[in-house]
Amino acid sequence: MKRMTRHLSLWMLLATTLLAWQTAVARELPDFTELVDQAAPGVVNISTSRMVERSASPFHDFGGQEIPEIFRHFFGDRFGDRFPMPPGGGPGRSEERQSLGSGFIIDEAGYIMTNAHVVEGADEILVRLNDRRELQAELVGADAKTDVALLKVDADGLPTLTLGDSDDLRVGEWVAAIGSPFGFDHSVTAGIVSAIDRTLPRDAYVPFIQTDVAINPGNSGGPLFNLDGEVVGINSQIFTRSGGFMGLSFAIPINVALDVADQLRDDGRVSRGWLGVMIQPVSRDLAESFGMDNPEGALIADLDPEGPAAQGGLQAGDVILEVNGEAVESSSTLPRLIGRVSPGSEVELTLLRDGKRREETVTVGDWPDSQGAAADGRGENPAPARLGIAVGPLEEAERRELGIEGGVRVGEVDPRGAAAQAGIRAGDILVSIDHRAVEGPDQLAELVAELPEDRAIPVRLYRDGRSLFVALRLSRG
């Protein structure tokens, strides 16, 4: 009996300890109630309408609305290409489409921030406040490259949100979102920052905040808060294979968004730095071919001959390692670093050229409205068997069009050869190999005969009018 009493006392002690521990843990979890009470009035619902031609899409009747903008932001218009037109529908019929999103008030004068894709192409923008007032909004401006838009409503004394500093965010800290997923106004979700400075394939100018906060269609453009109730980001995108939230959401840092909004309000457009270079990642093989210890930096594959980089002395084949002393960790980092430099300002670039580091000063230009285009063709004459390709000479007109002095066009490619393994294709124009210019088919044969074996060799070529580098490796035998 004494032993049973002893065991019972032990179990009671353990249960009490566990309960106390759970209570302590619960107290340490964040409480978002005060944050929501203070911030909710400054969050708005945004609905847009526009007249469009009826399209072939199985999502035509998606709740009486068009494909949600956040779906379109990821998948483009691929839905309509894969499914037939609903019965009774056909092209050429106009209809009104509506979409939903979120936003937040940043100024008592009526300025509201949201995503550019929320209001893209809108004929009418309606803002619904927390107190159920509905106001017509004017689009002050939008910047597609950062997906930021600034709206203006005619009202006074509006509740505003406190803006924080997104540079202070740390991975692992708690954040919360307020928005209108699927039209459910002022829904609150929470999670943690899972990564910072995340680059997405189509958005080179935004160092995204990655979170596990549940974001769904309608949340786009809404605020992301830290525990102090400060806005640190604009919820913009999700990664999904199902069309719904899968645990990865991305927000535009508020520091980036504010810079864009200020320019839209003051100038009606956004100015960003431009070098006039076409860049590509430095692969491990390319790094070896350039004599680098690690694959890093941004490799210049081509330059606009009239652009700032060319005028500043940069060359194709240079690897940009630093911008004003800040490391270019990968090619995706460079547009962001240059984009935030004011046009007309000078930048100090650290380069790798011919295996040696050097410094160059370049005056950054303003991003032009359009970029150039392409050419194509085939060759016929044979080239060395070591590469496994056949090449032909270029016409003088082709050289002038591309702005090159030499080069050969690749014809047939042996799928088992070294060139195919490097990614060289029929139709490519080969302009240099192992840092030596290719003048023609005969001279290429001489260059290839001298190439070393079992070492990665940089090859520069043009494809569809664009320049890029590939790493070629010749095997023994």
**For residue 7, what pLDDT is reported?**
56
Domain count, the chain: 4
The residue from 55, 73, 143, 147 that is catalytic is 147
pLDDT in tens, 359-386: 999 999 988 753 332 222 333 444 456 7
The average pLDDT across 407-420 equals: 79
Last residue of some domain: 309, 334, 366? 366
Do 344 and 363 meet the contact criterion of CB atoms below 8 Å apart?
A: yes
The residue from 102, 220, 249, 289 that is catalytic is 220
The answer to whether the predicted template modeling score (pTM) of the entire model surpasses 0.75 is: no
219 is in an annotated binding site: yes
**For residue 71, what pLDDT is reported?**
43
Pair (396, 291) in one structural domain: no
- Residue scoring higher pLDDT (12 or 457): 457
187 is in an annotated binding site: no
The residue from 73, 99, 117, 236 that is catalytic is 117
The average pLDDT across 89-114 equals: 79
Strand ranges for 11-123 from DSSP E: 43-53, 94-105, 111-114
Pair (141, 213) in one structural domain: no
**CATH assignment at residue 55:** 2.40.10.10
117 is known as an active-site residue: yes
- Host domain of residue 447: 389-473
Pair (175, 239) in one structural domain: yes
Residue 59 above 90 pLDDT? no
Pair (328, 277) in one structural domain: yes
Q: Assess if residue 18 is contained within a domain.
A: no
Of 19-23, 116-120, 360-364, the one with minimum mean pLDDT is 19-23
For residue 256, give the nearest of 271, 234, 276 by alpha carbon: 234
Pair (48, 64) in one structural domain: yes
**For residue 280, what pLDDT is reported?**
86
Last residue of some domain: 335, 366, 397? 366
**What is the Cβ-side half-sphere exposure of residue 227, based on CA atoms within 13 angstroms?**
12
60 is known as an active-site residue: no
Q: Assess if residue 8 is contained within a domain.
A: no
Pair (253, 321) in one structural domain: no
The average pLDDT across 38-52 equals: 88
- Residue scoring higher pLDDT (193 or 50): 193
435 is in an annotated binding site: no
Q: Assess if residue 322 is contained within a domain.
A: yes
For residue 192, give the nearest of 154, 227, 237 by alpha carbon: 227
Q: Assess if residue 459 is contained within a domain.
A: yes
**For residue 279, what pLDDT is reported?**
85
Q: Assess if residue 183 is contained within a domain.
A: yes
Do 71 and 101 meet the contact criterion of CB atoms below 8 Å apart?
A: no
pLDDT in tens, 296-347: 999 998 888 888 999 999 999 999 999 999 999 888 889 889 988 989 999 9
Separation between Cα atoms, residue 101 and residue 217, nearest integer Å: 7
**CATH assignment at residue 290:** 2.30.42.10
218 is in an annotated binding site: yes
Q: Assess if residue 161 is contained within a domain.
A: no
369 is known as an active-site residue: no
Pair (175, 139) in one structural domain: no
9 is in an annotated binding site: no
Retrieve residue 194's tokens. 């899972």
Retrieve residue 283's tokens. 């692969």
Residue 428 above 50 pLDDT? yes
Pair (45, 137) in one structural domain: yes
Q: How confident is the model at residue 65 (pLDDT cuts 50, 70, 90)?
A: very low
For residue 175, give the nearest of 195, 196, 161, 189 by alpha carbon: 189
**Contacts (Cβ under 8 Å, ≥6 apart) of 175:** 190, 191, 192, 193, 211, 213, 224, 225, 226, 227, 232, 233
Pair (246, 279) in one structural domain: no
Q: Assess if residue 319 is contained within a domain.
A: yes
**For residue 379, what pLDDT is reported?**
35
